[in-house]
Chain A
């Protein structure tokens, strides 16, 4: 088990280093923060002073080396827009994002999984087709389109809910629904497929033939076996809690990490972008690690295989 964890952590570290390096190179080669932050209409002397003050005139490898050394010392740098500490800047946005993504995750789980199971258990029925039709609609309509549609109906036409901002809990309703709808649709599709595959297995038929009540067959044999692919998807969803609402936050003017990322990338505010990427990579890696551990808990065969491999 320890060896398994060590291998996973080593891989995670390599992933994070690659993410940071790739982002650094791409961002530095694709735009000049001085022109973006100071504005193209600023005097050339001001732009030059800005570049000099942030070391943007240094060779790229030197900039990277200094940055990487700073990271190793736990210093993720400062925002080039106003000199604020990048970690503090990102940290103060996390609660706003979680205020959207956690309720949205709850919607995804509470709607996606039951409807997937129900559709699988009523395969080819009218209900199955309706549920799957809605699911296809849910994950094919882009979130910005769904968001704007919801705003048009519930804010502009009916006047029931605000169209954007973060002033009260009512402001969160439309973005949470927008985020939740797509994820619930994906989960419903995956859960249905996984359930259908499991329901076709010989051990399900055997259990039924032995006279085990159908509810018990589903609860004790089908659901646990169908859980593995679903858990994988949930793992991705949990991993994207921090930066999974980029588009929705922009459409609804929600001041979370996603919007900060958009603004930081647009301005090539490197320290802030890198800080968010590190956070996202870390969350994703941790989430995948938990999913790997859950696999073992859900499926004894995997647990035994790991134990055998480690022996």
Chain B
């Protein structure tokens, strides 16, 4: 039992009354509040579960991967928790771990933490089969430590040939695949591969408890996450990249775009995310605010169901692609703040980028000719549409329908409430909207992931093409880099020109309104970077 002596009491009082350096030097760093439409979709902060654009916005502040992407610069891969990496063979990448990196719980990051982060506890589960029933799932991760069944599925898709993480020696690990894969570095850079603290996971009560407050190595640590409400992060001063510039970051859910802007203008928020292009002029009328943003690694596309009676003939789908004046959409609805890309690809594909490729030319005469040749008689073609799921989606659709009408296509908009209704096979379906991202710097992350044999389009039964599928498999497994370039080129020819499954409309852009006195750059991603390098510089 502790006894409180007179001396101890006097010492205690003295300690309290003497000037305290910590109290005297109060943290002068600013705190900011960011209004977002949603913090996360899944009510978790674990990126292996949260596969959404909104989740992408927040994860970069609290979690990091071994390899990072330079989202503000040229999108190249750059060191993060690994300082260097090298190829051992087609199946193996060796990485040097950064020394002295600490987790938010104070632990120093070790190779064992990397093994855990790519291991069964966090990603793959114990191979349990899902046995839940509606309203009573037993495998949600809410009580046990096993991840919910969709997490291993995400992991399998992200790392399709993953075999193991091998510890070579302290500070050096190997990412080993079962099969050859030239895209391993890009896959390691995906946010599913965030490195978490093994001890923190072991101490969490459940997988959900971990996923609500993951312990990572990012510049800010999770203080409080209130689902559907807000996420509060606090500076982690032991961050390996230097003391973070902000004391506290609060992401607040404000679902209404007008309310986000009102809150910004009234001074409650420092940033308002997902501003619509038509709000930009009004915001910038006020000299204290500005809208920043740019194109991101995501393209808006229109997808075709080739099994619809009117679309079986590829010439009709080709007519669709030639009837669109894409630049006009960019100018009219985006005030020129985005661009028409060179098909479903991005510059950061590097040697795989096909610089001489382009989207189908706007050529109404060619569209009419193709329709005439195909014998199209003006039968209706349904176009399923969500109400502005994408920025300016309805307005874009109305313009598209009019452009298609100009060449003789009778396209009829069918408004739908959700994606289940968009994909419903019980009624004729022909045209729909989508957006396609490149999660890493290789076309397998976009054209194969979206339209290949395992991609959504083929999985819901909209499309198949034998040659395209064969090439997609080759693109995913080949290590012959020149050959892969040829394969990708041919896939673009099939998917965008010969037997179109989609047509690219424009690159997606995201806009963030903010106080003008804050010097901060928007990333080419939904991600928001609040590290020292991107604040006040």
A interface with B by C-beta (< 8 Å): 30-32, 35-50, 52-56, 58, 63, 66-67, 70, 75-84, 86, 148, 151-152, 155-156, 159, 162-166, 250-253, 255, 259-260, 262-263, 266-268, 270-271, 274
Contact = CB atoms under 8 A, between A and B. Distances in A.
B469 to A, nearest CB: 15
Interface string B112-127: 0000000000000000
Interface in B266-325: 266-268
Interface stretch (B66-74, B375-383, B416-424): B416-424
A37 B153 CA distance: 15
Given A32-B420, A164-B268, A253-B253, A49 B149 contact: yes
B132 interface: yes
Given A151-B262, A159-B266, A251-B256, A43 B153 contact: yes
Contacts of A163: 259, 262-263, 266, 268
Query: Considering residues A42, A78, A255, which has the most beta carbons from chain B within 10 angstroms of its beta carbon?
Result: A42
A159 B266 CA distance: 6
A83 B419 contact: no
Contacts of A48: 153
B150 interface: yes
28 contacts: A30-B417, A30-B421, A31-B417, A32-B420, A38-B42, A38-B51, A38-B150, A40-B419, A41-B52, A42-B51, A42-B150, A43-B449, A45-B154, A45-B156, A46-B51, A53-B150, A58-B134, A63-B134, A66-B134, A67-B135, A77-B135, A148-B259, A162-B268, A163-B268, A251-B256, A253-B255, A267-B41, A274-B135
Contacts of B417: 30-31
A255 B229 contact: yes
Interface residues of B, number: 63
A39 B511 CA distance: 21
B388 interface: no
Contact of B133 (A31, A66, A155): A66
A80 B137 contact: yes
Nearest first, the 9 closest Cβ-Cβ pairs linking A and B are A83-B140, A77-B135, A83-B142, A32-B420, A53-B130, A43-B157, A46-B153, A55-B133, A82-B43
A263 B39 CA distance: 13
A184 B297 CA distance: 51
Nearest to A79: B43
Given A32-B420, A152-B262, A49 B268 contact: no
A165 B252 contact: yes
Nearest to B211: A82
A259 B228 contact: yes
Given A35-B423, A41-B437, A53 B149 contact: yes
A63 B137 CA distance: 12
A30, A54, A78 pick with most chain B CB within 10 angstroms: A54
B10 interface: no
